[in-house]
């Protein structure tokens, strides 16, 4: 009886313990579910708050970006009145100054902070700091922005480092101009010491003679090719440079922070203005420079350096037969004579519309086929035809489907080694305060030219440094 009672007690205790365990497990499950629910609600709330915050920031940034885009479009317009544009947007720029500062900060890269290395990003910031100081008649280190850039770059502006920093600032704008150029990078630059420099040119010579006689026989004397005077005359050309200038004005009552917001827009605009002017002078020409395809600002008018192709029939700009083919380009290369022998010395320059016509041509290889290395070496290269790079330029007028007579150029082949760009000095960015007009001028200037080394034969067969196809 006692054993039975003990057994019943143990079973009862086990049941009670099991019941308690089940109850505890149920309570823990309820508690866990409640905690998970609370955590999920907290995460959802945090995510919702983050989305709201992000939406607000995005809205602010989008509005700020739209403001900057509107400013950039207006400032890049031809003959833009900078002072009037700044006046129209000054209040908006002041209102969004905090957002503009944050956007500018977010675009900075200071991975090399403390090393003293001037990366392209830091050089651009230093250029803006230098201009800001000049506009307000201060030094680079006398503005809070300049101090901030130098500090974050890990650079000290003193008597020792200032020269290197000034050179970096000057070269930064020059690099910005080069990046915008498409045609000018094809040609060599020659540094000259004056506005007019005489460059000696050694011409090709006549063949030597197999002869038992000495130089007493006049036929054995050295002569330049085509000569018959028994003398070797060294040719010469005069390299001339011309000033290229562009600038804008800022009113003296413009806020410093507003100017700081405008500089990242103004400096690229000035760089593009110089780049487009140089490419235009090389191709079209102007009153001072004879261009490859046309002088006096019009294709084919005045003096120009190209030979008009006689092998390729002038295309009809009305659209019936206006597409240039790779076979056409090869034909004008053959008209270059000795200048067309090496395909890597030849470059084809076409208007934008003819580039699109060439895309579907079997002889045209785009950059993806010839390798991006070619494009990196020469900005503006969009492909190649039989080993020679093709550059698309909007300087040459697009005349496809013009619907009437057109005399502009459809394509030109040029030997890049037969032309040079004499440069008197690099690009200078300066400021000047006009007391009478109460405004500051920001001026970018340089002095350069364009010259042909050996004149074209202007005939086929013959040696022509450049040959063009013109519309009929």
Q: Is residue 369 predicted with pLDDT exceeding 60?
A: no
Tell me the residue ranges of DSSP E strands in 129-277: 188-191, 196-201, 235-240, 242-251
Q: How far apart are CA 381 and CA 375, in angstroms?
A: 5
Q: Which residue has the higher pLDDT, 273 or 157?
A: 273
From the centroid of its chain, how far is CA 60? Answer: 30
- Report the distance separating Cα 189 and Cα 212, nearest Å: 46
Task: Give the count of beta carbons closer than 10 Å to the beta carbon of residue 140.
Answer: 23
Would you mind telling me the total number of residues written for the chain in this entry? 472
* CA separation for the pair 293, 255 (Å, rounded): 46
Contact, 302 vs 285, CB < 8 A? yes
Across 66-70, 173-177, 287-291, 328-332, least confident range:
66-70
CA distance 264 to 144: 17
- Burial degree of 334 (CB within 10 A; 0-12, 13-18, 19+): middle
Give the pLDDT of residue 23: 75
Q: Quote the Cα angle for 290-295-297, to 5°.
A: 130
Among 36-45, 261-270, 313-322, 388-397, which is the least confidently predicted range?
A: 313-322
Q: Count, in order, helices (H) and strands (E) of the chain.
A: 11, 14
Q: How confident is the model at residue 52 (pLDDT cuts 50, 70, 90)?
A: low
Q: Is 425 left (phi over 0), alpha (psi -120 to 50) or beta?
A: beta
- Residue partners of 301: CB distance under 8 A and separation at least 6: 294, 295
Per-residue pLDDT, 310: 92
pLDDT, tens digit, 9 for 90 and up, residues 113-167? 545 567 778 888 888 888 888 888 888 878 888 888 888 777 777 655 666 777 7
Q: Per residue in 222-241, pLDDT tens?
A: 877 777 777 777 788 999 99
Q: Is the pLDDT of residue 275 over 50?
A: yes
Q: What is the percent of the chain where pLDDT is above 70?
A: 75
- Which pLDDT score is estimated for 106? 55
Render pLDDT for 292-330 as a digit per residue (tens, 0 to 9).
Answer: 998 443 444 456 899 999 999 888 776 666 889 999 999
Contact between residue 390 and residue 381 where contact means Cβ atoms under 8 Å apart:
yes
């Amino acid at each position: 009886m006692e054993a039975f009672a003990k057994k019943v007690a143990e079973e009862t205790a086990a049941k009670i313990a099991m019941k308690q365990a089940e109850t505890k497990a149920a309570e823990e499950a309820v508690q866990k579910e409640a905690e998970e629910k609370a955590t999920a609600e907290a995460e959802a709330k945090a995510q919702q708050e983050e989305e709201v915050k992000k939406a607000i920031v995005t809205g602010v940034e989008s509005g700020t970006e739209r403001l900057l885009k509107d400013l950039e479009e207006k400032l890049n317009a031809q003959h833009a009145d900078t002072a009037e544009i700044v006046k129209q947007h000054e209040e908006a720029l002041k209102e969004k100054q905090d957002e503009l500062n944050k956007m500018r900060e977010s675009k900075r890269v200071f991975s090399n902070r403390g090393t003293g290395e001037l990366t392209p990003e830091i050089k651009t910031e230093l250029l803006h700091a230098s201009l800001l100081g000049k506009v307000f008649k201060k030094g680079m280190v006398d503005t809070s922005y300049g101090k901030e850039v130098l500090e974050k770059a890990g650079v000290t502006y003193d008597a020792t480092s200032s020269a290197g920093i000034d050179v970096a600032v000057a070269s930064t704008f020059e690099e910005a101009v080069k990046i915008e150029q498409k045609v000018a990078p094809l040609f060599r630059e020659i540094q000259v010491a004056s506005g007019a420099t005489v460059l000696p040119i050694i011409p090709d010579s006549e063949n030597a003679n197999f002869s038992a006689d000495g130089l007493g026989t006049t036929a054995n004397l050295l002569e330049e090719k085509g000569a018959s005077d028994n003398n070797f005359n060294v040719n010469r050309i005069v390299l001339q440079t011309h000033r290229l200038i562009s600038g804008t004005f800022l009113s003296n009552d413009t806020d410093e922070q507003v100017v700081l917001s405008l500089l990242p827009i103004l400096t690229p605009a000035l760089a593009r203005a110089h780049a487009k002017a140089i490419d235009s002078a090389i191709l079209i020409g102007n009153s001072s420079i004879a261009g490859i395809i046309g002088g006096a600002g019009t294709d084919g008018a005045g003096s120009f350096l190209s030979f008009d192709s006689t092998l390729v029939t002038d295309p009809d700009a009305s659209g019936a037969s206006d597409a240039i083919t790779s076979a056409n380009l090869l034909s004008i290369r053959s008209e270059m004579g000795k200048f067309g022998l090496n395909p890597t010395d030849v470059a084809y320059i076409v208007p934008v519309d003819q580039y699109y016509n060439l895309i579907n041509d079997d002889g045209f290889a785009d950059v993806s086929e010839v390798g991006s290395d070619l494009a990196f070496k020469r900005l503006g290269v969009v492909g190649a035809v039989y080993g020679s790079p093709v550059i698309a330029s909007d300087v040459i007028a697009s005349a496809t489907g013009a619907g009437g007579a057109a005399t502009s150029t459809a394509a030109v082949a040029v030997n890049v080694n037969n032309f040079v760009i004499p440069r008197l000095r690099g690009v200078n960015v300066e400021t000047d305060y006009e007391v009478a007009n109460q405004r500051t001028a920001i001026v970018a200037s340089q002095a350069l030219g364009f010259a042909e080394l050996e004149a074209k034969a202007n005939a086929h067969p013959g040696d022509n440094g450049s040959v063009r196809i013109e519309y009929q």
